[in-house]
Structure 1
């Protein structure tokens, strides 16, 4: 698909034009100065490098922008008639960027991994590793910035998972199935804001709109918790299960015994064990171990300062037997903890 075609987002004739930008009435910046553009986009996304090669082509940069509460939307066109735009972005630790290409294509490189995302495709960017995106003239995209903490909260609510471990597939996907639903809702919200209808920004609807977009994202784009997330929701767990989970989350780095968990729950051991089996498919102590492993993996994946050690992370996560920790970690994640740490540096 080239810049003269449209990016189809669904049936019934609905589409986003590939030769114009969404949010046309929400202009944030128009500029022909690459230095101004670099400063602006660094402030809007994160500090990054931006270069244009090919005999210093002129630009007619356009950035349209809108925001709900914590989710923000951008539509960009660098307006370069020729040459290549290269954007080098550091690790994105606090948020994900969901990108829908409207026209043209971009090559994204991350270490030895490289792929092309084309018009009519969606991909999610967010990693502990830096990456580079390169595109030529005619490239236009729409993107949504999603705080990682918001998705963590949703996964805690739905699955009882510890925060910090969410990893999306970076591979481009066509706007079919759930991805189409996600794109259509994004389009509806942006059109609502652009035309100043303000329905999705109403105090009684804005939170629900954000929640639905985030749930659609988790349902549409493959991630490391997809298998659990795609299972039909169970009835709410009883209070004694949630009380034990809260206790584990708050004190995972401290010694915890089964008798401690029974005492916290306020029920007998058999009742607690049965409730965890029914509502969490595990035992209280296995839940504790799984939470500690998730906590350790999150810390190892963020060990960017060079001073983090496997032993320190294991101890901080509540493990006291290093050999058992290494074996349990390998069984769960398919690699030694040292490999996870090394990859993050």
Structure 2
């Protein structure tokens, strides 16, 4: 599919021309094509309407390495992939991406990536503009923690699905019925929608405040990322090192963050998640399995200690749970 087909500004296989075009539109990137007989075909489409700056970039190359140094401390680039795949290193994290996924690049930090037939919408954002928009919606207290985004965006998250649909809608509108209509009111409305959804639906330090929680109880995005990892991998063997690595911070930082947010350490939080998974099975149906089998499935190898933890959490023994629901 050709995105923003009425706004194509570059179609080229000249690497130097591509570098200059991307630099003028977004930020300076250095491209290098990998492999023998490698070819590059690039299409860039861009549209600006009011303060909306939206591009679609297609880098048709089997292996392309991209590096970009730190540049604009106020700038963000949100990539919403429409094709291809790759890996990137940004803000101390290794990110994988593919069609349907996205990531947020902070232009204050460098990035390096390897891309394979990459295609993406690129939305340029201003931190100051996002902050001002947040203040206009929820008040000055939102700025207590500063604004920062998690570069990794969960492609399965409902918020990302909604935001991705909105970007497609805006692109189609600007490429179609609004192409010849210069209506500042309509443009301002679209910009408000994009800024509001960006702040409320994508993982960032303002997200909870935007969704109605007191700013003083906001859970940092890196703690929420670790929390989500625990829920998704509770049946696997994971330790504090794994959780800290996902969060992108040290042992002390992740310990303190979980205690501040949930009143317990990450490993204690994991234990409770696992206990609740066991209880859900006991309340449903064992299908001929023993309690010990279910407990071991969720990482409990010491049955006496497991029974004590279960009783402490739910006020009854596992066997009593089964009897009550027989």
**Range into which the TM-score falls when normalised by the shorter chain:** 0.5 to 0.7
The 1:172–1:89 alpha-carbon spacing in structure 2 relative to 1, beyond 3 Å, is farther
TM-score normalized by the length of structure 1: 0.57
Q: Does 1:106 align with 2:86?
A: yes
Q: Tell me the residue number matched to 2:131.
A: 152
Q: Does 1:25 align with 2:22?
A: no
Q: 1:72: Cα distance to partner?
A: 0.9
Kept in 1, the 8 Å contact 2:41–2:60? The answer is yes
- SS for the counterpart of 1:103 is strand
- Which residue of 184, 206, 209 maps to 2:165? 184
Distance in 2 between the 1:97 and 1:218 partners? Answer: 14
Q: 1:105: Cα distance to partner?
A: 0.9
Q: Does 1:225 align with 2:225?
A: no
The 1:149–1:201 alpha-carbon spacing in structure 2 relative to 1, beyond 3 Å, is farther
Kept in 1, the 8 Å contact 2:200–2:206? The answer is no
Q: Structure 2 stretches of 5 or more lacking a match?
A: 218-255, 260-326
Runs of 4+ in 1 over 6 A off after TM superposition: none
- Structure 2 matches for 1:127-142, cutoff 5 A? 128-136=108-116, 138-142=117-121
Q: 1:107: Cα distance to partner?
A: 0.8
Kept in 2, the 8 Å contact 1:107–1:115? The answer is yes
Q: 1:134: Cα distance to partner?
A: 1.5
Higher normalized contact order (CA 8 Å, seq sep 6+, divided by chain length): 1
Q: Tell me the residue number matched to 1:70.
A: 51
Distance in 2 between the 1:200 and 1:170 partners? Answer: 34
Q: Structure 1 stretches of 5 or more lacking a match?
A: 1-19, 234-279, 283-330, 335-345
Distance in 1 between the 2:144 and 2:109 partners? Answer: 19
TM-score normalized by the length of structure 2: 0.60
Q: Does 1:206 align with 2:214?
A: no
Q: Tell me the residue number matched to 1:193.
A: 174
- SS for the counterpart of 2:28 is coil
The 1:205–1:107 alpha-carbon spacing in structure 2 relative to 1, beyond 3 Å, is same
Q: Tell me the residue number matched to 1:39.
A: 20
In terms of fraction of residues, the more helix-rich structure is: 2
Q: 1:229: Cα distance to partner?
A: 1.8
The 1:167–1:187 alpha-carbon spacing in structure 2 relative to 1, beyond 3 Å, is same
Distance in 2 between the 1:166 and 1:115 partners? Answer: 21
